Structure 1
Amino acid sequence: MTISYNWLSKYLPKAIEPEKLAVILTAIGLEVEKVSTFETIPGGLAGIIVGEVLTCEPHPNADKLKITTVNVGAEQPLQIVCGAQNVAAGQKVVVAPVGVTIHPFNGEPVTMKVAKIRGLESHGMICAEDEIGVGTSHAGIIVLTTDAKPGTPAATLFETYQDVIFEIGLTPNRMDAMSHLGVAKDVCAYLSHHQKKEVKVKLPYQNSFKVDNKELPINVLIENEEACPRYSGITISGVKVGPSPSWLKNSLQAIGIRSINNVVDVTNFILHETGQPLHAFDVKAIKNQTVIVKTLPAQTSFITLDGKERKLLPNDLMICNGAGEPMCIAGVFGGAESGVNEATTNVFLESACFNPTYIRKTSVAHQLRTEAATRFEKGVDISGTVQVLKRAALLIKEVAGGTISSDIVDVYPNPLSKNEIALKYHYLKKLSGKNYHPDTIKRILTALGFEVVKEGIDEIRLAVPFNKPDITLPADVVEEILRIDGLDNIDIPATITITPASETLGFKHQLQQKLANYLAGQGYHEIVTNSITNSQYYSEKTLQHTVAMLNSLSADLNVMRPSMLETGLEIIAYNLNRKNNKLRLFEFGKTYFSNEVGKYVETEHLSLYLTGKITDDNWQHKNKPADFYEAKGIATAILQWCGINELQWKQDASNPQALKICSGKKQLGSVEVVPHEITSKFDIKQTVCFIDFDFNMLLQSNANLSITYKEVPKFPAVQRDLALVVPNNTDYQMLENIVQKLKLNKLKHMHVFDVFENEKLGNNKKSVAINFTFLDEEKTLTDKQIDAMMQTLMQAFEQEAQALIRK
């Protein structure tokens, strides 16, 4: 939030230096993140003065230049070379002497130095409008009125405005501080407490409000009282819409608000002064002199101030005229047909309180994040609508003329009572760590607007002001006391007693932690991506079962992810764009699925992403990029680490470069090379391998794992190699299944160590070399036993895989 120092100072009983004020604001929880200077004219014309041209002669070495002597109020006049055609003796002009920095309208600041122009020295510059930032004209130098005195600062002749701007990092719960008056009240509460005397805010409200006539009464009807608990309004006739006065423009521009016209500027000024949003209607749009607050049927068309047609939702609260026609989206955005413009003469001014839930849903659904909606969705002060309305009406009369032509209409069907909270002193001590005297507590809270309902020996009962809707619990009151007193004022005890925390991780978290540690040890980095993602990543078929967001903040984040792949590819693309090409990533996350409205399924995953070279190239060998087989290897290692050894790898029909990982009848996950049509959506040009596990399946399998110890075998293992010529379409899983069916209990391990293809082997043939490891834990295996087992293997391969044994 942006706060103007000049504006804020109007409400403080005494000006506080900006540096000290920034410290106070941060101390009371309104953290000042940045302090900057605002100037309507850059540089504030500092050092620029009035001069009088005494002489003006042609430059001897240039046809278009003049040699002038200029009186600037010093002992000696300045010699200045000037190229303006309109310069003449006797003129009063604007001069930038040597050493002064000018700020051109377009361009970088320039500091004046003694310059030699065509052989003659020039001690400064006679300025045009654009050269000092007071205008855009470069037709000639500025010629002042003859009564301007040489040496007078130019800043006194032009309207300059300077301000100090505070950027405050406001927490979402601090609705009460979303205005200059709200901040001023906090500052005064801080001063009252620390100076031990009452410091009051200088309120801008006047007692001079009166109704001039009752010629334009407007009736108000609230049909949806839940969405609009209070609505106030007043009519002002005979206004003249036009530019705002300088003070109003400057106040708004200093905090980044563009001036529109005097009436609209007043509503924006009041918004940032009090925190109460207002809206001004052209009375011509209010048919039957009636305003109706209600919802309209879904898909009703409405054109907003920005000229866009919007289709209304069933819960969009609308301000309608007596004919039922919408004029404004309540608390969010005005309509194109009812707004104030140059032709407006009669204005109806609205000051209302709307239900935060309605405003939030409408604002998000239509992506209209306006200043008014931001305040309404946090809750405005329902008790202040009429008081603010009077203030705004008088300001409009001041800047736009006109007369107040109706009584204040105030529809408040169900007046609210203040929320009451009992604060026990021992609870305050427990949470704050500090003993507060009851008088101190009372002084702080009354300065913040709390009303003391009842005082007791051990507690105080308080009525919460309407401008603090976030205060609902005793802990909230403790926070208010602490921030006004100052967190730095909490005493630090000499000794601190701490009971060591003992947290026992559940089985699920233990496995997750072990896997994370293992993968980190293998060179993988953990990532955490957003579960909300972009629906454009997915096909129409996938989106039929995707969980859509009802209140998405943007079109890029509108569905819950149905797959872990796409959010991981976002991270990969981000890194590749920054030349980080070798990536090993893993993530524990969830995907979301829906078969019908209201029925949702969450699935937990462990996903891994591999892309780029396995290691860096070195002088011994060139490295190769990560491929499917490396991905399959790390997937196998993870499963074995979880105690899952009996695996089946099944081809995925939807992707020829993908395998399903199964154990028994359960599918544990999949390994794939991500298809190009998917990676191209993320502008990824290198191969990406993706491993995806159903984490709950890993959990179930690991839960049944029992760890047993076996002695190291006393007898040696024996290894034999076997080369098979098999059809090209034969995969290793098939060969492994053949071996498993033989149930050779002395065969402990088998693996492929070579695959060879050559025309000499025959068409569509390949050679697969397999290493077998045999071991008998009770005795040494004989050659005869090993030969018998190898013979059994060869026969099985010949019969079931049509293999030819290479001798």
Structure 2
Amino acid sequence: MRVPLSWLREMVAVDLPVERLVTVLDELGLAVESVTSVGEGLDGVVVAEVREIGPVPGADRIRLVSVDAGADEAVQVVCGAWNFEVGDRVPLATVGTVLPGGMAIARRRLRGVESNGMLCAPDELGLPGGHDGILVLSGGATPGTALAEAMGLQPDVVLELEVNANRPDASCVLGVARDLAAKLDLRLRPPEPVVLLSDDARSVGEGVVDVEDTEVCGLFLARVLTDVVVRPSPPWVANRLTLAGMRPINNVVDASNYVMLELGVPNHAYDRARLPGGALRVRSARPGESLLTLDGVERRFEPGDCLICDAEDTPVGIAGVMGGASSEIGEATTEVLLEAAWWEPRAIARTSKRLQLRTEASSRFERGCDPEAIDLAVARFCQLLADDGAAGPIGEALDVRTPALPAPAVVRLRTARANALLGTALSDDEVRGHLDSLGFVTSALGGDGVCEVRVPSWRPDSALEVDVIEEVARLHGYGHITRTVPRSPQTGSLTSRQRRRRQARAVLVGAGCSEAWTPTFLAASLLERLGLSRADAVRVANPLVAEEDLLRTALLPGLLGAVAANAAHRNLG
């Protein structure tokens, strides 16, 4: 997961050098895989609008692209990427520019055609996103505008973290900030969106949401937004999504993705006008049903898959995985039905695996999302659109809960057990202090070092005493725990005869003797040359060498053979 440092600092005022911050995150179990500095070295990179795309004579892998870069004349560039079209806005590195990686842009001739600059992929600009294609910019920035200005880029650092499957809470910026605040004893500042409800706004009525599959859906929250204006996102939103590795699309979809990355709650926005009946129903799939998903693929379902359907019972989304194309947000959208839900993790994992469709949403749902953050996520979505003037009055939401929603876990923790497992000598107060700082609620049960721990809703992975002890270890710091080598059970030993042989060998070597390893099989002629009888030798039925078909009866032949071989090779040591 990619986390821009500026986004992280909005939630926790961490002011450490990047190198020290990386160490702290590693100590917390959030290994930093890479650190990327962005927003610097972009002088000379401007926004360009693609005007014309044509072939290059004699070449089938590159194209001749004509772009408007804000000058009087169009700029001609040869490009090997194919992921953009006429009308798209793309970054152009003009002649003379030196990109963040040190690449100098010069005027060049390719296949006899002059190229006056370079259209850039994200990694060439020092941005996340790889090298799979040119960076296609959202919004309507004027051609010729500096790229850093158009994207709202400021010097920043992007941390790429390895988030393990047992840490669903760390799949968002808030989760990482919570860990840092606890470790560094800083105040956590989560978003506190304020949604001004209006009596004139359209509320979600009782019949708008029908949850039939109560084994998979534990909570379903829906809210209607009216007077929605679909347009490009504000530059700061688009920039953060880009740094986090997501492509900006429009303000509604971007707000949905922004909330997921910030709070760890996947959600989905439907164009209500394209939703027959304007309502949603959650049920199990029937044999033979299918849906064209947002990625343009027709997918077929089996019983056990959970679907979101419209009022006519037609599927419009795969619960917890991906929405359908039929109700996709578009430029004509004016009314949005937003849904955020809690889905049973194993059910989402089964469907995602069977369909071979793993998404940002499914990866979070199958690990376990925080049901108590759903209200906050929906409010944050509404705030992002309202603050940008892209949504009208907001009405009440509808919250449907079922028995599938799990109750918070309560764990009995013994300080003595924690110290025994960790090899520490922590006091009761130290153990409880570490847990309280992470959002666990502890209460003493008597004075014998036992406490009751209420696990927060964002930590479904902590269900046992040993899980809670692991959290104590993370906050205490693995570096503060003395290293010990565990004893392994003794599975065998040398016999007394083996010990005597090894002792004798060591004494002889110490006295200057040499050990020789000589062949076991000998030729009859060699025994005769040394005056040894072959009558006592055992003949081998299937010798490796036909002439050497006798087992040795003495060591002398082999030793003399070794001396002769060493002398012949002048190895006299």
Q: TM-score, normalised by structure 2?
A: 0.68
Q: Distance in 2 between matches of 1:442 and 1:106?
A: 48
Where do residues 751-770 of structure 1 align in structure 2 (5 Å cutoff)? none
C-alpha change, 1:20 and 1:288, in structure 2 (3 Å) is same
Superposed displacement of residue 715, structure 1: 5.5
Q: 1:260 aligns with which of 245, 249, 269?
A: 249
- Segments of 4+ moved more than 6 angstroms: 104-107, 127-133, 142-145, 153-158, 750-754
Partner residue, 2:159: 166
Deviations 1:253-278 (A, max 9, x none): 01110001110000100000000001
Q: 2:354 aligns with which of 343, 362, 365?
A: 365
Q: 1:459 aligns with which of 447, 450, 466?
A: 450
- Tell me which amino acid in the other structure corresponds to 2:104: P
C-alpha change, 1:307 and 1:208, in structure 2 (3 Å) is closer
Q: Does 2:80 align with 1:109?
A: no
Q: Distance in 2 between matches of 1:501 and 1:439?
A: 36
Q: Distance in 2 between matches of 1:156 and 1:750?
A: 85
SS in 2 for 1:478: helix
Deviations 1:451-509 (A, max 9, x none): 1244432211110011001101111111111111211112458xx8x65522369xxxx
8 Å Cα contact 2:4-2:157 kept in structure 1: yes
SS in 2 for 1:488: helix
- Tell me which amino acid in the other structure corresponds to 1:436: L
Unaligned residue ranges in structure 2 (runs of 5+): 47-70, 74-92, 107-115, 126-133, 136-141, 494-532, 551-573
8 Å Cα contact 2:203-2:396 kept in structure 1: no
8 Å Cα contact 2:38-2:155 kept in structure 1: yes
Deviations 1:576-610 (A, max 9, x none): xxxxxxxxxxxxxxxxxxxxxxxxxxxxxxxxxxx
SS in 1 for 2:347: helix
Q: 2:489 aligns with which of 501, 513, 516?
A: 501
Where do residues 275-424 of structure 1 align in structure 2 (5 Å cutoff)? 275-399=264-388, 401-414=390-403, 416-424=406-414
SS in 1 for 2:217: coil
In the alignment of these two chains, the number of paired residues is 437
Q: Does 2:421 align with 1:431?
A: yes
SS in 1 for 2:420: helix
- Tell me which amino acid in the other structure corresponds to 2:420: K
Deviations 1:79-124 (A, max 9, x none): xxxxx988xxxxxxxxx9xxx983369993259xxxxxxxxxxxxx
Q: Does 2:476 align with 1:485?
A: yes
Partner residue, 2:43: 45
Q: 1:203 aligns with which of 190, 208, 226?
A: 190
> Is the deviation greater in 215-224 or in 155-164?
155-164
C-alpha change, 1:104 and 1:35, in structure 2 (3 Å) is closer
8 Å Cα contact 1:242-1:400 kept in structure 2: no
Superposed displacement of residue 186, structure 1: 0.3
Q: Distance in 1 between matches of 2:261 and 2:270?
A: 20
C-alpha change, 1:750 and 1:212, in structure 2 (3 Å) is same
- Tell me which amino acid in the other structure corresponds to 2:379: K
Superposed displacement of residue 6, structure 1: 1.0
Q: Distance in 1 between matches of 2:387 and 2:234?
A: 10
8 Å Cα contact 1:241-1:345 kept in structure 2: yes
8 Å Cα contact 1:393-1:404 kept in structure 2: no
Superposed displacement of residue 5, structure 1: 0.6
Q: Distance in 1 between matches of 2:149 and 2:542?
A: 94
Where do residues 420-569 of structure 1 align in structure 2 (5 Å cutoff)? 420-457=410-447, 458-491=449-482, 499=487, 501-503=489-491
C-alpha change, 1:403 and 1:488, in structure 2 (3 Å) is same
Superposed displacement of residue 239, structure 1: 0.6
8 Å Cα contact 1:236-1:406 kept in structure 2: yes
C-alpha change, 1:304 and 1:208, in structure 2 (3 Å) is closer
Superposed displacement of residue 155, structure 1: 7.2
| The structure with more radius of gyration | 1
8 Å Cα contact 2:153-2:239 kept in structure 1: no
Unaligned residue ranges in structure 1 (runs of 5+): 49-83, 87-95, 112-126, 137-141, 146-152, 193-198, 506-711, 719-747, 755-770, 775-807
Partner residue, 1:23: 23
- Tell me which amino acid in the other structure corresponds to 1:417: A
- Tell me which amino acid in the other structure corresponds to 1:409: L
Partner residue, 1:3: 3
Q: Distance in 2 between matches of 1:474 and 1:310?
A: 42
- Tell me which amino acid in the other structure corresponds to 1:291: L
Superposed displacement of residue 157, structure 1: 9.9
C-alpha change, 1:499 and 1:243, in structure 2 (3 Å) is closer
Deviations 1:296-337 (A, max 9, x none): 212212111122111112111101111101000011011010
Partner residue, 1:248: 237
C-alpha change, 1:356 and 1:400, in structure 2 (3 Å) is farther
Superposed displacement of residue 416, structure 1: 3.8
8 Å Cα contact 2:228-2:391 kept in structure 1: yes
C-alpha change, 1:504 and 1:224, in structure 2 (3 Å) is farther
Q: Distance in 1 between matches of 2:432 and 2:245?
A: 38
More strand by share: 1
Q: Distance in 2 between matches of 1:408 and 1:154?
A: 40
Superposed displacement of residue 205, structure 1: 1.7
Partner residue, 2:181: 188
C-alpha change, 1:420 and 1:291, in structure 2 (3 Å) is same
- Tell me which amino acid in the other structure corresponds to 2:414: K
Deviations 1:185-241 (A, max 9, x none): 00000012xxxxxx3211112244424534353521111111001111100011111
8 Å Cα contact 1:44-1:161 kept in structure 2: no
Where do residues 637-716 of structure 1 align in structure 2 (5 Å cutoff)? none
SS in 2 for 1:440: helix
Q: TM-score, normalised by structure 1?
A: 0.49
C-alpha change, 1:162 and 1:500, in structure 2 (3 Å) is closer
8 Å Cα contact 1:263-1:400 kept in structure 2: no
> Aligned Cα RMSD in Å?
3.9
Q: Distance in 2 between matches of 1:85 and 1:264?
A: 36
- Tell me which amino acid in the other structure corresponds to 1:171: N
Q: Distance in 2 between matches of 1:27 and 1:479?
A: 13
C-alpha change, 1:443 and 1:101, in structure 2 (3 Å) is farther
Q: Distance in 2 between matches of 1:154 and 1:221?
A: 47
> Is the deviation greater in 220-229 or in 437-446?
437-446
8 Å Cα contact 2:174-2:263 kept in structure 1: yes
8 Å Cα contact 1:233-1:349 kept in structure 2: yes
C-alpha change, 1:211 and 1:431, in structure 2 (3 Å) is farther
Partner residue, 1:741: none
Question: Structure with the greater relative contact order (CA < 8 A, sep ≥ 6): 1 or 2?
Answer: 2
8 Å Cα contact 2:294-2:323 kept in structure 1: yes
- Tell me which amino acid in the other structure corresponds to 2:460: P
Residue identity (%): 30
C-alpha change, 1:752 and 1:469, in structure 2 (3 Å) is closer
- Tell me which amino acid in the other structure corresponds to 1:18: V
Deviations 1:700-758 (A, max 9, x none): xxxxxxxxxxxx9956678xxxxxxxxxxxxxxxxxxxxxxxxxxxxx9479999xxxx
